[in-house]
Amino acid sequence: MDRRVFCTLGLLSIAACGSDRPTGIGSTDWLFSATISGSPDLIDRSGTAYVQDGHLLSIIGSGSIGINRRAIEVKAAGVTGPGSFDVTVGINRASYGETGPSGQYWVANFEQGSGTLIVTEYSETRVVASFSFTAYTDATLTNPKTISGTCVCRVQSLATSTR
């Protein structure tokens, strides 16, 4: 299976799992909103943040346009509180994927693209952040997507690996 298709499917399946809200939380308490060049805006009223090993932060938002599913993930290591994080250093990355007839996957990581994640609030239950990145479908650096957004995300899990 093509790596991009596999990554897009994985990203979309993770995003689909984060849509439940705790009892008593209104639809405006959690919000993931992004502007995507060449595509309609993505608004997800259940933005989710995952924290692994106490420092690897993944922020995910997803949505649909007709039968096409879309998702954005911004991931940064070393996050233990507010700060600015380059999404193209080490294992950090930012990605945007679309499924459907013209499904594609764009990524900004250590090989290509640029971008920043700015975390302004960080707790065990909530992350508030903004992000912007330019991502590409492959190493030829053609067909870029410029994506920027904000989120008020519920922390889904604070997992510790057992490695």
Among the listed residues 151, 160, 163, the one whose alpha carbon sits nearest the alpha carbon of residue 15:
151
CATH class of this structure's domain 3-159: mainly beta
Mean pLDDT of 74-92: 95
Confidence (pLDDT) at 93: 95
Lowest-pLDDT range of 71-80, 84-93, 150-159: 150-159
Mean pLDDT of 18-29: 41
Is the CB of residue 107 less than 8 Å from the CB of residue 94? yes
b/e for 20-39, b at 16 or more Cβ within 10 A?
eeeeeeeeeebbbbbebeee
Assess whether pLDDT exceeds 50 at residue 5: no
Is the CB of residue 25 less than 8 Å from the CB of residue 126? no
Average pLDDT, the chain: 79
Rg (CA), the chain: 15
Mean pLDDT of 39-48: 81
Among the listed residues 55, 29, 49, 15, the one whose alpha carbon sits nearest the alpha carbon of residue 125:
49
Of all residues in the chain, the percent with pLDDT exceeding 70 is 79
Assess whether pLDDT exceeds 70 at residue 161: no
Mean pLDDT of 26-51: 79
Confidence (pLDDT) at 156: 76
